[in-house]
Structure 1
């Protein structure tokens, strides 16, 4: 698919009458993947004496499941007791759910616990995004018969970005086609919620980079 994509890209030719500097704004993108740390279940019981909960604790100990029941305060409904149980191993977690079912303890919610986002790693992701933008800009510039002179601006505020290019200071329908051919190479948003319905979460870091191009 990539070879076919590049083949189409390099078959497009653009002619210019004047050797003028142009500006190009490209979205650089670096991706990452995070994996769930554990499986979590939120449970509750209407048993005010917590007999069922105590039986669940005894069963967890008897089956040697390394999991702790954590009580969750509930201001909305004082007639029931709420707890959280979790385990990193999916097979052991399934045993916990079976025990809850056998004791008729309600399982209100099940989700994957994702790791806390480490903001200290943003610098590394920004460097990768800048390298990605440089590669795209060189590809575009070379095809247009230009070279990168220097970087005019770097902006990491890309919340509302929808395209890898913003503007070129000359009017050409073919140039727009060339830029749109790279549209799928950069997109995505980062989310930092620790609760997820999926065990894997992919995200990315975006940088808008503005270049000044000179004719070769």
Structure 2
């Protein structure tokens, strides 16, 4: 009888393990990305430009600002987004930044050149959508800032040259552009590296933490009236 009981318990445990391995994990989510007037599934081009000032701040109190001057925007971007039916959340990234330019940037009144590296950067979701807002992350971030008049140059990246990231949110459009927000309070892992010896210490030092912040309006190149992408992630 004991042997039969042990055998039954063993069989039950094996069956339970097999079931656990085949059930969808509790953390799995689905993502749906849509844009009116484009085929699904497809990878679609998008464009982006800033709404307001683009800024960066270091822990040494260095402040970089990029502003619009006339028709020249402080930030312009190109990229792609995956439009399609629900996919498992681990299938992120849902989009990418393939081109990025910064214009009209200054530090302490001095002209600064801002050069993105490691493109394309990727855009992934990091949580479920609430009231049209989806948390997300830009990864692969690496930026070089050069102030020729000082001279001063620094690279902002993660712990390696390829793992920098910035967290933010994507807000779905209501008949117009979607919005990618990278607030000044957003979590990121950017630090200053390769800082030139001539950089003033009140601007940047090696190992400084840094934040890149801005609001970017996203529009589809081929969508009806160039609406931006609608992103919905659900449990």
Structure showing the higher helix proportion among its residues = 1
> Structure 2-normalised TM-score?
0.21
Structure showing the higher strand proportion among its residues = 2
Larger Rg: 1
Q: Which has the higher contact order (CA 8 A, sep 6+)?
A: 1
